[in-house]
């Protein structure tokens, strides 16, 4: 994990990047994945990256053709109750957006796949106790929100 040094720069970079995607017709989704992890050492470990890249993104990509571009960024933040959680963005071209979000809801198969994270798997390092994925309408506001207490940048 890379320690956050310049939150405002990260916020402006990420806001600019995803606003350009949104204005270009891409589907931009905000992602929140909550965990029961309270250990800062654990949260700073490679297991958090592994969960996002090897488990979460694999489930999202499974809903898209292999050639479909998917861009993402994410950070880990500590909640006021001390649990660590993920905040992130996903951007997919309009042509494939319906495979993730359609009819004001998450793809039912993706929803079911992510619900399975509520239990630790043989190769999944920990549980995701809840998740929220929804389209972003105001990228700058969401970027400000996710960087307020963030400890790490990805």
Per-residue pLDDT tens, the chain, 154 aa: give them. 334 446 667 778 888 899 899 989 999 999 999 998 999 998 888 888 989 998 899 999 999 999 999 999 998 888 888 999 999 999 999 999 999 999 899 999 999 999 988 887 777 778 889 999 999 888 888 887 776 644 444 3
Q: Which domains does the chain have, with CATH numbers?
A: 2-153 (3.30.70.1910)
Q: Cα 25 to the chain's mean position, in Å?
A: 20
Q: What's the pLDDT at 142?
A: 81
Q: What's the pLDDT at 7?
A: 64
Contact residues for 103 (Cβ-Cβ < 8 A; gap 6+): none
Q: Which helix (H) or strand (E) holds 46?
A: helix 46-50
Q: What's the pLDDT at 6?
A: 60
Q: What's the pLDDT at 47?
A: 87
Q: What's the pLDDT at 119?
A: 80
- Residue 63 φ/ψ, nearest 5 degrees: -85, -10
Q: What's the pLDDT at 154?
A: 39
Q: What's the pLDDT at 14?
A: 85
Q: What's the pLDDT at 1?
A: 32
Quote the CA–CA distance of 85 and 44 in Å, as a whole number: 12
Supply the pTM of this predicted model: 0.84
């Amino acid at each position: 994990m890379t320690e956050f040094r310049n939150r405002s720069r990260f916020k402006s970079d990420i806001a600019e990047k995803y606003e350009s995607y949104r204005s270009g017709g891409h589907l931009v989704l905000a992602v929140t994945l909550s965990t029961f992890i309270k250990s800062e050492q654990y949260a700073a470990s490679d297991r958090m990256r592994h969960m996002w890249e090897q488990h979460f993104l694999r489930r999202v990509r499974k809903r898209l053709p292999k050639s479909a571009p998917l861009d993402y960024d994410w950070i880990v933040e500590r909640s006021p109750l001390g649990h660590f959680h993920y905040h992130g963005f996903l951007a997919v071209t309009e042509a494939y957006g319906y495979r993730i979000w359609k009819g004001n809801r998450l793809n039912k198969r993706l929803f079911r796949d992510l619900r399975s994270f509520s239990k630790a798997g043989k190769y999944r390092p920990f549980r995701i106790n809840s998740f929220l994925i929804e389209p972003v309408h105001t990228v700058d506001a969401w970027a400000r929100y996710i960087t307020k207490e963030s400890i790490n940048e990805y």
